[in-house]
Structure 1
Amino acid sequence: MTIADVRIEDHYRTRTAEPLGLTDRPEPTVHPGVDGPIDPATLASHEARGYSVYDNLLSAGEVEAFRAELDRLTRDEALRADERTIVERASAEVRSIFEVHRVSGLIAELVRDPRVLDRARQVLGSEVYVHQSRVNYMPGFQGKGFYWHSDFETWHAEDGMPTPRAVSMSIALTENYPFNGGLMVMPGSHRTFVPCVGETPADNYRASLTEQEIGVPSRAHITALAAECGIDQFTGPAGSALLFDSNIMHGSGNNITPFPRSNIFVVFNSAENALVDPFAAPAPRPDFIAARTFTPLSR
């Protein structure tokens, strides 16, 4: 199946000329219908908070294997020259490599691993496909963070994702301390859609992957959500994983410590939530950022 050239009612208006108010999300966070490894208490917490944490998802040996794989990818000169590799503006250090499950056999196996795939299927209540995959590098001293944002806002506006029936898994390959740029989330914020102001330029992805300027919520909205929800931070040892809703407000600070941070990041979208035309962009982003083949993953 390929992208559907259809227009549906837009419940999540964004990228407008004038500010809009916050929108309540009608869809559930956890969809029924598929059993999986997440216990009922954790699933209920995920529904309420918009995220769940899994310690020791990977063994120490697996962590070492994936670290070696990330090192290999950064040394691949052909891959570095590819558009899928994003480098820091100031240092030219590798920041991210997209569509990594298609350039690494090891990571291709990981996205189909029951520890990963079955959790996504259970939360989304359906078969799933990989909307996006990447590895993120945040080197010591100069790793740059990302400002507060909702992934779904971007995926809706620029990719044509109809509803927030998608989930991301971030798997830590290094220790996540409170001080080396670990991901911060606002628990419960996934129930509220935050619209953004400003028209999406053509090929906006080229700039936004290094520093997002369009699709950034207002300070007033961030302040209101933080007051209501508070802020949690994902910390833990290498091998732990964070599973979080596509609409949760999140961000990360710069890493000025000597301790680097790297992770594997996979976005699963429900096969029942296939992309349509972008809701607030002149054209879809490239396939390596937002897949437009919706074939469900199999083990």
Structure 2
Amino acid sequence: MGDLNNIQQLNAHGFCHLPEVFSHAQVDEFKTQIQKYIDENHEGIVHEADSSAVRGIHGPHLYSEFFQAITNKKEFLELASSLLGEPCYVHQFKINIKRRMVGQHWPWHEDFVYWNKKDGIKEPNMLNIVIFLDKVELLNGPLCVIPSSHHIDDLTDVEAQDSAWQQDVSASLTYQLSEKRVEALIKQYGVHYLMGNAGDVTAFHPKLAHSSANNMSPWDRQMVIITYNAISNTPSLDKPDKRPAFLCSEDFTPLVAES
């Protein structure tokens, strides 16, 4: 996973795709553990607006040995450390869920602005690893990215004032890209849909502009997103409005790959 081709794709386009990383049996175990975690009603679980449908699970690695072990996967750490140039830790671990027919969209945005403005992380020396737990196709709301947009500074030009963390994970995101900005970027770079099969993995840069539509299919679209951050790039824990640990890690211990 940490081979030169993947690193080159990440640097040039902002993303790369890695097929068949997890088996069908492993994907089934993910889903079993997700439902168990939801049933236990942990903090960091959020729902769609005006709905009982779960939209996201945040910080499950803090409470579940199963999810914590995933963060130490050798292939993930090799890719992250190769790209970041140093050891890393998990800044954020979330499971985004779009339930069949009701899962809502994610507006155009980039991730790093949240970690910079909300958590005090200075540099985008980070990497998102996405694990597909269902087949991802156009009808169920795949991530749509603007290739190479991670090279552009100051992508975000729409900002809600004094928002709580709940807005950061809702369909009305705190920081977004305006219609004018998106139009200009797409004219210049085009778009690419991150689709694939259950068990596939996609990695993408934290400044890559992306969005996703509602799930209009009769199938769920679940994906795990693990955000690795370089050890030298830790957040400011003395911020008076610091977000909860399930969104902003307080443990900066360098990860060691599974044996």
> Per the shorter chain, which TM-score range?
over 0.9
Q: Which residue number corresponds to residue 201 of structure 1? A: 162
Cα distance in 1, alignment partners of residues 58 and 64 from structure 2: 11
Report if the CA contact (8 A) 1:201-1:282 is conserved. Answer: no
Equivalences for 1:1-299 in 2 at 5 Å? 37-76=1-40, 78-79=41-42, 82=43, 84-193=44-153, 194-198=155-159, 200-201=161-162, 204-276=164-236, 283-299=241-257
CA positional deviation for 1:208: 2.7
Cα distance in 1, alignment partners of residues 200 and 160 from structure 2: 38
* Matched position secondary structure for 1:109: helix
* Matched position secondary structure for 1:117: helix
Structure 1 253/40 Cα, relative in aligned 2: closer, same or farther at 3 Å? same
Which runs of 5 or more structure 2 residues have no equivalent in the other structure?
Answer: none
Q: Give the residue type in structure 1 aligned to 2:252.
A: F
Cα distance in 1, alignment partners of residues 186 and 232 from structure 2: 32
Cα distance in 1, alignment partners of residues 38 and 135 from structure 2: 20
Cα distance in 1, alignment partners of residues 174 and 106 from structure 2: 13
Q: Give the residue type in structure 2 aligned to 1:113.
A: K
CA positional deviation for 1:283: 2.0
Q: Give the residue type in structure 1 aligned to 2:243.
A: R
Cα distance in 1, alignment partners of residues 173 and 201 from structure 2: 28
* Matched position secondary structure for 1:159: coil
Q: Give the residue type in structure 2 aligned to 1:266.
A: I
Cα distance in 2, alignment partners of residues 138 and 242 from structure 1: 18
Cα distance in 2, alignment partners of residues 172 and 269 from structure 1: 21
Report if the CA contact (8 A) 1:177-1:236 is conserved. Answer: yes
Deviations along 1:100-158, whole A, 9 cap, x unmatched? 11222111111101022221111111110110001121111100110010101111111
CA positional deviation for 1:63: 0.9
Cα distance in 1, alignment partners of residues 225 and 160 from structure 2: 28
Report if the CA contact (8 A) 1:186-1:250 is conserved. Answer: yes
Cα distance in 1, alignment partners of residues 249 and 118 from structure 2: 12
Report if the CA contact (8 A) 2:72-2:256 is conserved. Answer: yes
* Matched position secondary structure for 2:139: coil
Cα distance in 1, alignment partners of residues 174 and 70 from structure 2: 32
* Matched position secondary structure for 1:123: helix
Q: Structure 2-normalised TM-score?
A: 0.93
How many residue pairs match? The answer is 256
Q: Structure 1-normalised TM-score?
A: 0.81
Report if the CA contact (8 A) 2:109-2:156 is conserved. Answer: no
Deviations along 1:218-263, whole A, 9 cap, x unmatched? 2111111111111101111100011000100011000011011001
Report if the CA contact (8 A) 1:38-1:119 is conserved. Answer: yes
Deviations along 1:46-90, whole A, 9 cap, x unmatched? 2100011100111121111111111212222x42xx3x1111112
Please say which structure displays the higher CA radius of gyration.
Answer: 1
